[in-house]
A and B are shown apart, each in its own frame.
Chain A
């Protein structure tokens, strides 16, 4: 029941592919729980087949949209020097990453995805736990942005994205970030040097 209502709710939204896949993932998890508890009931068989019937392979429904959406919110918050907002967006990103069922990623690229996702999640967690330390959030942002760049390179993005580069960050080692537009809004320095950096790449 819960699973069905979840599905219908998400279908009602205008976001299509990725929300559906996420809901499917949740639905599977939700249906798995009562399955375990309702031992001996007829429903177990039905539930089993329904989750088996979920196509575990071809291109089905994996999308980077949710991840990128949360990341861009984070990028925006850091550019506004908003550590609390960044922490919130970091939490969102953790949720998006948790929601994705790696089975929906095509076989060949799954290891890559899991590698990127595990690292990204760790950075997002740190960002979400450091609402009072924006400098630390930015350190993780630099590493996270690398992950995001690799993610988009491997799996694409539904919306146009740009890769910007800030040459100053980290004592001149530089750092990249992804942005939805061509305008430079530097997440590493915020107000201090908002327009420092340049677009290096288009996805």
Chain B
């Protein structure tokens, strides 16, 4: 007997195959049933809605568009972890359930993160080139947030 690389590879393949049996529950909801989404409390103009959907909603809403590799484990587990973290932080699908104070806080953070370029995260934008925001889009988003803040009248 001795060192048999073939066995190791086979073993790894078996583990990999077994991993596929555990598919995490993906949190995608039906896009049509969103009674508590941000649209329920604020006007979201078309351009902004487009930006949010394209660049934010995959991790910050219940309408995640899961890519094919999310079904390949352990990639899918890792992805799901990130998504649930993102939604816990900010979920546009449940935005209307936040208190006014929290809504104002979240909006301020949205503008701050987008302005700084921290969102969407670089690692995400690397793979999802379509998520990247142009200068004009950043401006459209921050101006929208500003207009909402004025309407929220929290200073």
Q: Which residues of A contact B (CB under 8 A)?
A: 115-116, 118-119, 122-123, 135-136, 139-140, 142-143, 146-147, 170
* Chain B residues within an 8 Å CB radius of A119: 99, 101-102, 105
Categorize the interface residue count of chain B.
Answer: 10 to 19
Cα A116 to Cα B102 with chains together (Å): 9
Chain B nearest Cβ from A141, distance in angstroms? 12
Taking a contact as CB atoms closer than 8 A, the residue among A136, A142, A146, A170 that contacts B154 in the complex is A146
CA distance in complex: A119, B155 (Å): 16
Overall SS of chain A's interface:
helix
Contacting residues, chain B, for A139 (C-beta < 8 A): 108-109, 112
Residue in B99, B105, B116, B118 whose CB lies within 8 Å of A143: B105
Chain A nearest Cβ from B155, distance in angstroms: 7
Q: Which residue of B lies closest to A170 (CB)?
A: B112
Interface of B is mostly: helix
Chain A residues within an 8 Å CB radius of B99: 115, 118-119
Q: List A contacts of B109 (CB < 8 A).
A: 139-140, 143
Given that A146-B154, A146-B155 are known contacts, is A115 also in contact with B112, CB under 8 Å in the complex?
no
B112 CB contacts on chain A under 8 angstroms:
139, 170
CB within 8 Å of A: which of B9-40?
A: none
Q: Are B101 and A116 in contact (CB under 8 A)?
A: yes
What is the minimal beta-carbon distance from B111 to any residue of chain A, in angstroms?
9
Cβ-defined contact, B105 with A115, below 8 A = no
Can you report 27 residue pairs joining A to B where beta carbons are below 8 Å apart? A115-B99, A115-B101, A115-B102, A116-B101, A118-B99, A118-B102, A119-B99, A119-B101, A119-B102, A119-B105, A122-B102, A122-B105, A123-B105, A135-B116, A136-B118, A139-B108, A139-B109, A139-B112, A140-B109, A142-B108, A143-B105, A143-B108, A143-B109, A146-B154, A146-B155, A147-B101, A170-B112
